[in-house]
A = this chain, B = another copy of it.
Amino acid sequence: MLFHVRMDVKIPHDLPSAEAAEIIAREKTYSHELQRSRKWRHIWRIAGEYANYSIFDVTDNTELHEILSGLPLFKFMDIEVTPLLRHPSAIREDDT
């Protein structure tokens, strides 16, 4: 089941830079694992912003929330979730 997610990252400017770097490194590892498992199906950077649009393919709302709330950057993000489904005009078979 697919979900569209927008994530906006806002790291406080007074967070020590070593702490920020460590969180960002863990974020990357965490994202790689979920992409390899095919649960985090797409991730695109939004031009000019510290933000991304992503597509998740999960079993249900609970699994989606566990993934998102487990993001190392979760407490510094604004997240907006939109449930998706197959569009009646879609022709790809592997996109739902």
Contact = CB atoms under 8 A, between A and B. Distances in A.
Q: How many copies of this chain sit in the oligomeric assembly?
A: 10
B42 A61 contact: no
Interface string A44-87: 11111110110100001110110011000001100111111111
Interface of A is mostly: mixed
Name, among A28, A43, A50, the residue most crowded by chain B CB atoms within 10 Å (CB to CB).
A43
A44 B13 contact: no
A35 B87 CA distance: 12
Given A35-B90, A43-B87, A50-B75, 10 more contacts: A3-B83, A28-B89, A31-B89, A35-B92, A42-B95, A47-B64, A47-B68, A48-B83, A62-B85, A81-B83
